[in-house]
Structure 1
Amino acid sequence: MSEPLKDTVTVVGAGLVGSLLSLYLARRGHTVELLERRADMRRETVDAGRSINLAISTRGLHALRQLGLEDEALKHAIPMRGRMIHPPQGALVYQPYGKDDSQHINSLSRAWLNAFLMTAAEATGKVNIRFKQRVTQLDLGPGALTVHDDATGQVRQETGRVVFGTDGSASAVRQALEKLPGYTGTQEQLGHGYKELTIPPGPGGTFQMEKHALHIWPRGTYMLIALPNEDGSFTCTLFLPWQGPVSFASLDTPERLSAFFDAQFPDAKALIPDLMEAFFSRPTGSMVTVKGAPWRAGGLTLLLGDAAHAIVPFFGQGMNCGFEDCVVLDTLLERGGSWENVFTEFERLRKTNADAIADMAVENFVEMRDSTGDPRFQLRKAVEKVLLNAFPGEFVSRYSLVSFSRVPYRLAYQVGALTDGIVSELTEGLARAEDVDLKRAAELIQSRLAPFLKEHADGFRTEG
């Protein structure tokens, strides 16, 4: 392929990552054809019911900041400073995310952000978004895309361009790579599905629950969550097993659904006036973890975002990870070199990190639905906060590294194993977090955590 700086390129998929990638490529002087299977969401109503709200954090905000888009995005975001736990009975329990309120994640409308990025891409004058364009085949030999225009019914072939696949977990571009000799990969469907519900605003657009929190109703094998929206509403997501005694299969009548919410989520039920209609009319979404390699074919094709590494949404990092992909790719393009060399280095840097956040997301699902309601878990989280404040720069948590830094995910995962062990040992026999033995904590941090941080100091420099 020719020198990257002068190529016209094709991006398949105008979702969040595809739209952001197009902005980065346009800034580097590329002309971008952005193909989107769906209609233009800014002009036509796109089916609701499958959107889990975004929790944008440091990695995603950094990607927007590089393009001058962070400030506008934050105008539409609501800071979430911690989890608000709703037990079946008794008082609410608040768990802060970070050492103080400055460390928070942000609830942001997926639809708003996607439309905002598409409009910004078009405003460059170098990105042409074509809607209702369905890629049906990619022949990696000549680099030929077969595209079906769903608006006209016409089929065409496009050849001779570098193709970026940002077309989600069911990526047509990845399916072409899967046919390559030596491709290895797995797609693991989570045994749970999800259903979107809505808590409307109160009178005058007021919030009917705590505005600055991610609300969780943990119930062991299932849970309900709710994230705040600009208009005072909350987008709720119910996660249930597909099959079993308590599952989407078992909640098959209004009577059973009503009794289930009365028993498990009575406070939420009182705030969802259209529960029955929404539950039975909206689609049930599925969740998948995609791991595979390679993500590239020479200098012809590269996967980014969910197309390369779809993850379940329980660490709030799917979009943040995909946006970080764009930052890392842009950094490599800045250094120069052929498409093939850039793509090879991109996969080397990102594959282990994508695998790490995929594993952490599944683990966090178990934590959210089960552990968050456990008093011993709540005590460990309180001890963790004490240590974060008592030993700034020396003690770090997995959650803070993932959400509030740009440290590579693989290192955050490894640090988490060490810090979890330290917190568990310090919490043994403890009744109150403020009684934690700080002298013992200092000894454990110096003997277990400090050597690892020193050994991997270079790795804690961010990738892009």
Structure 2
Amino acid sequence: MEPTQVKSDKKKVVAVVGGGLVGALNACFFAKRGFEVQVYESREDIRTAKVVKGRSINLALSHRGPDGAEARGDGGEVACLFVQIVSQGIPMHARMIHSPDGKQSPIPYGKKGQFILSVDRANLNKQLLSGEKYIADGAKEHISVDLIVGCDGAFSAIRKQFLRRSRFNYSQTYIPHGYMELTMPPRDGDFAMKPHYLHIWPRNTFMMIALPNLDKTFTCTLFMPFEEFEKITTGDEVLEFFQKYFADAIPLIGADSLKRDYFRLPAQAMVSVKCSPYHIADKCVLMGDAAHAVVPFYGQGMNAGFEDCVVFDEIMDQFNEDLGVVLEEYTRVRVPDDHAIADLAMYNYIEMRAHVNSKWFLFRKVTFTRTRYHQAVKRWQWQDKVINRGLLVCGTGAVLGGSYLLFKNPPNMDKVNLDVEKMWNRLVSLGTS
């Protein structure tokens, strides 16, 4: 596909619908290119609001978001903005796994020196909206624009218009688990736990995580099936539940606070959204959760949204801002990656709540790069295949070696038959899994 030169003295107008994280960053990119940008947001201005409404799950900002945006910033305002954001985040170098008996075990994220950032959603949004020369607040008026960019979240009003069109694929899935947030206050003026970790309490069908904040608190998020949330109806039942599964967290959160805050708000739902294509001709495009809402268990929802902005900006360079070509290419490039991260997020919930202590978990990490999500999935599937085949080969070798020793030194045959049968059944299950 050859780029087409588009020349015009008229300043193009872009309407960004949604003033959240992805919408605000998009506005920065378009304004940097010289577009006239209007940002439309149905909620109150987050910069002046006394109470910030909406999702509040803490964010894990990885290299995919700021690194890509800084690279596009050419040392300018966008890059400086991300430097400021990074300075206000708390680096988490590893996961800290809390066992039921209170034992803590760290699992590093990557190589030495690599980390992800714990970032407050509201503060990050305010920072992205701080560039007044980039952002114009929307007004209730009819305007003519060259491009509409739908960044209005998982329940996007812009995406609803896509549903009226033929050959638009769309699916949404609510998972049976909800989430509830609790706060772990500072202890003696400092963090109640080690701050440079993402703390996880994996408990098979449910789990709790805790991310550090700049005010020395931890935001604790309990993920659990709705039916389990609904079983707990009194403060005493809350304490009984936590005593059984998260006993070490009770003195850190505080028993009274725990009984009060558990009932402050009901558990919130989580939805996964997939759709394609992401564009309509050269007039409209979807980005962020409007295009691909994901459950928050891979820590890539925001990063994938930021990467949407970066990839779109790269394609704008590649095709000289010819929107007809750019939007089609953006759909072609991003749909397989965004669908892949949606699937990875679903899978990682199982990993985090059940298998995070497994030594094989380290083989399944996505590295600190901009490797495309769907390529990472292919590598992960290949690793699984290699690992399982390796287990089968090693296990078979162990059986053969053991058989030779048994031949040379025959023990009680009734016991040997039983042990070999168990081992063989295990190897068969590994080889076919």
Q: Same fold (TM over 0.5)?
A: yes
Rounded to whole Å, the distance in 2 between the matches of 1:427 and 1:229 is 42
Q: Is the 8 A contact 1:312 1:361 kept in 2?
A: yes
- Structure 1 residue 220 and structure 2 residue 204: aligned? yes
Q: Look up the match of 2:253.
A: 272
Map Cα deviations across residues 297-320 of structure 1 (whole Å, 9 max, x no partner). 111110000000000110100000
- Structure 1 residue 39 and structure 2 residue 47: aligned? no
Structure 2 gaps of 5+ residues are: 1-5, 395-433
- Which stretch of structure 1 is more off in the superposition, 284-293 or 299-308? 284-293
- Structure 1 residue 325 and structure 2 residue 308: aligned? yes
Q: Which structure has the larger Rg?
A: 2
Q: Look up the match of 1:117.
A: 128
Q: Look up the match of 1:127.
A: 135
* Alpha-carbon offset, residue 161 of structure 1: 3.8
Q: Decide which of 118, 124, 127 is 1:107's aligned counterpart.
A: 118
Letter in 2 for 1:418: W
Q: Look up the match of 1:389.
A: none
Q: Look up the match of 1:449.
A: none
Rounded to whole Å, the distance in 1 between the matches of 2:211 and 2:202 is 15
Map Cα deviations across residues 308-361 of structure 1 (whole Å, 9 max, x no partner). 000011010000000000011111111214312111000000000000010000
Rounded to whole Å, the distance in 2 between the matches of 1:182 and 1:345 is 17
* Alpha-carbon offset, residue 427 of structure 1: 6.2
Q: Look up the match of 1:456.
A: none
Q: Is the 8 A contact 1:3 1:337 kept in 2?
A: no
* Aligned CA distance change for structure 1 residues 171 and 251 (closer, same or farther; 3 Å): same
Rounded to whole Å, the distance in 1 between the matches of 2:59 and 2:354 is 22
Q: Is the 8 A contact 1:85 1:215 kept in 2?
A: yes
1:248 is paired with a residue of what secondary structure? Answer: helix
Structure 1 gaps of 5+ residues are: 134-148, 150-155, 385-396, 431-464
- Structure 1 residue 409 and structure 2 residue 392: aligned? no
Rounded to whole Å, the distance in 1 between the matches of 2:391 and 2:185 is 40
Q: Look up the match of 1:27.
A: 32
* Alpha-carbon offset, residue 126 of structure 1: 4.1
Structural mapping, 1:199-348, within 5 Å: 199-204=184-189, 206-243=190-227, 247-273=228-254, 274-335=257-318, 336-348=320-332
* Alpha-carbon offset, residue 127 of structure 1: 2.4
Q: Is the 8 A contact 1:79 1:104 kept in 2?
A: yes
* Aligned CA distance change for structure 1 residues 359 and 270 (closer, same or farther; 3 Å): same
Q: Decide which of 351, 365, 376 is 1:399's aligned counterpart.
A: 365
What is the RMSD computed on CA atoms of the aligned residues? 2.1
Rounded to whole Å, the distance in 2 between the matches of 1:337 and 1:41 is 31
* Alpha-carbon offset, residue 95 of structure 1: 1.0
Rounded to whole Å, the distance in 2 between the matches of 1:225 and 1:347 is 34
- Structure 1 residue 163 and structure 2 residue 148: aligned? yes
Map Cα deviations across residues 420-462 of structure 1 (whole Å, 9 max, x no partner). 33345556799xxxxxxxxxxxxxxxxxxxxxxxxxxxxxxxx
* Aligned CA distance change for structure 1 residues 175 and 78 (closer, same or farther; 3 Å): same
* Aligned CA distance change for structure 1 residues 9 and 196 (closer, same or farther; 3 Å): same
Rounded to whole Å, the distance in 2 between the matches of 1:126 and 1:406 is 26
Identical aligned residues as a percent: 40
1:116 is paired with a residue of what secondary structure? Answer: helix
How many residues in Structure 1 have an aligned counterpart in Structure 2? 379
